[in-house]
């Protein structure tokens, strides 16, 4: 269940070691602390478990990316192109906490982030993954 929240195997194993969590807030704090303690290879492993923005996969990400479903074909095509541009520039997929964002918002965000240097962008992507993890943990607790 934790792997569905974050694809980093070190994050998952560390979270398992830290159990039990006495409260919801303790879980979220442990998740954040663990994520921030990891290195770039762990972050990249987590990123690799995500579909590209706009890809349909029948996964939890489809619900998170629901803003893409209502986008017109032109916006979808632009998202596909900037996904390729992003991967070519940084070497991993575009990670954004898509929940509540329209396709147009995600397109504007990625275009802006393409201007980042690689170190800055890795930190930005890692923060987006942290947000995604938190939202998925919250959903897990609801279920």
Domain map (residue ranges) of the chain: 2-142
The values of phi and psi at residue 95, to 5°, are -110, 125
* Residue 58, pLDDT above cutoff 60: no
Count of all residues that appear for the chain in the document: 143
> How far is CA 102 from each of CA 57, 70, 112, rounded to the nearest angstrom?
18, 8, 16
Catalytic one among 2, 50, 53, 61? 50
Q: For the residues 65-80, what does the mean pLDDT come to?
A: 79
Mean pLDDT of the residues in the chain:
91
pLDDT at 72: 86
Reported as type and span, the H/E element at residue 25 is helix 24-37
> How far is CA 79 from each of CA 71, 88, 111, 115, rounded to the nearest angstrom?
10, 14, 10, 16
Read off the pLDDT of residues 93-113 as tens digits, 9 standing for 90 and up: 999 999 999 989 999 999 999
pLDDT at 54: 76
Burial class (CB in 10 A: 0-12, 13-18, 19+), 58: exposed
83 close to 94: Cβ distance less than 8 angstroms: yes
Please give the angle made by the CA atoms of 90, 28 and 34, to the nearest 5 degrees.
50
**Is the CATH code 3.40.630.30 the one for domain 2-142?**
no
> Can 49 be counted among the known catalytic residues?
no
Lowest pLDDT segment from 21-35, 59-73, 86-100, 127-141 = 59-73
């Amino acid at each position: 269940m934790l792997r569905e929240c974050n694809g980093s195997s070190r994050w998952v194993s560390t979270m398992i070691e830290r159990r039990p969590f006495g409260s919801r807030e303790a879980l979220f704090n442990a998740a954040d602390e663990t994520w921030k303690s990891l290195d770039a290879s762990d972050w990249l492993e987590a990123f690799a478990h995500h579909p590209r923005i706009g890809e349909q996969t029948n996964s939890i990400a489809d619900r998170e990316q629901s803003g893409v479903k209502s986008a017109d074909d032109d916006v979808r095509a632009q998202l596909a192109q900037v996904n390729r541009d992003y991967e070519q520039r940084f070497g991993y997929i575009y990670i954004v906490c898509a929940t509540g964002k329209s396709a147009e918002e995600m397109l504007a965000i990625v275009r802006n982030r393409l201007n980042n240097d690689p170190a800055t962008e890795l930190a930005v992507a890692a923060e987006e993954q942290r947000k995604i993890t938190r939202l998925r943990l919250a959903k897990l607790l609801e279920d």
